[in-house]
Amino acid sequence: MLISLIVATSLATHHEAPKPGAADNTLSPVEQRKGWKLLFDGSSTKGWHNFKEKSIAPGWTIQDGILSSTDPSNAGDILTEEKFDKFELKLDYKMTAGGNSGIMFHVENAGEHAWHSGPEVQVYDNSADPKGQLAGWLYQLYSSKVDSTRPVGEWNTLNIQITDKQCWTKMNGVLYYSFDLTSEDFKTRLSKSKFGNMPRFNKLSKGSIAIQGDHGVVSFRNIKIRPIM
């Protein structure tokens, strides 16, 4: 009887679910040693502002350590106050049905829209349009033959590296594509895209990270960046 009780107690402890968000929006000792820094502290929008504004619109909300564009009609794109040139960025995102967002880099706080200057890695509910620009793709520039995204309602982890030559995107640990911002291949793809005639597009070697917030309800957590020297 005593042995059965001990085993039952052990199993119950083993299967006990961890507290939600217990380790979210924090840096591990290893991440700290490698130079990672948080872009979202889990409780405030410190370090961010709306495009061409000084504050954050009320359509962006924070609950239980999660940043969400809960009202896309009153959210808009948000930018980091700090600017980055070479870096590795990682974050978790979760979609709602039909959700659509994007992560932009080298964005300037000027012009008509954030996406007029910064290339955008798509964040998307792929089931909404399987033949469209899918999650993880560099919008209209680079795509992936594989789809490693998880279904609506589940968290995905997106990693983006941008350096002088070695740029890549990974979705849930799977490499989608690599590219070189200075290559002829990139320039050719750019000229054939809708961005080819935009005078501000991809002109900065250092700029803000931006998150698109006006195309659907999307949630984010664990937004971290590691500057690369």
Question: Residue 69's domain is classified under what CATH number?
Answer: 2.60.120.560
Q: Is residue 115 situated within a structural domain?
A: yes
Q: Residue 35 — φ and ψ, nearest 5°?
A: 90, 15
Strands 208-211 and 155-162: unpaired
Mean pLDDT lowest among 2-16, 100-114, 130-144, 204-218: 2-16
Domain that holds residue 91: 49-227
- pLDDT at residue 31 in the model: 95
SS3 call for 17: coil
Across the range 156-176, mean pLDDT stands at 96
Across the range 136-160, mean pLDDT stands at 97
Q: Is residue 105 situated within a structural domain?
A: yes
pTM of the model: 0.88
Higher pLDDT, 124 or 22: 124
Q: Distance (Å, rounded) from C-alpha 222 to C-alpha 26? A: 7
Q: Is residue 167 situated within a structural domain?
A: yes
- pLDDT at residue 124 in the model: 96
- Is the per-residue pLDDT at 5 higher than 90? no
When divided into structural domains, the chain yields a total of 1
Q: Is residue 11 situated within a structural domain?
A: no
Give the confidence band of 11 by pLDDT, cuts at 50, 70, 90.
very low
Give, for 170, the enclosing helix (H) or strand (E): strand 167-171
Q: Is residue 25 situated within a structural domain?
A: no
- pLDDT at residue 216 in the model: 85
Cα–Cα nearest to 217, from 52, 63, 53: 63
Across the range 89-101, mean pLDDT stands at 96
Q: What percent of the chain has pLDDT over 70?
A: 90
- pLDDT at residue 33 in the model: 96
pLDDT averaged over the chain?
A: 90
Across the range 164-174, mean pLDDT stands at 95
Contact between 167 and 179 under an 8 Å Cβ cutoff? The reply is: yes
Q: Is residue 219 situated within a structural domain?
A: yes
Tens digits of per-residue pLDDT, 48-85? 999 999 999 999 999 999 999 999 999 999 999 999 99
Q: Is residue 55 situated within a structural domain?
A: yes
- pLDDT at residue 138 in the model: 98
Contact between 133 and 122 under an 8 Å Cβ cutoff? The reply is: yes
Contact between 42 and 221 under an 8 Å Cβ cutoff? The reply is: yes
Q: Is residue 73 situated within a structural domain?
A: yes
Contact between 205 and 84 under an 8 Å Cβ cutoff? The reply is: no
- pLDDT at residue 218 in the model: 95
Given the structure tokens 């700090």, which residue do they identify? Answer: 82
Q: Distance (Å, rounded) from C-alpha 149 to C-alpha 157? A: 9
- Is the per-residue pLDDT at 14 higher than 70? no
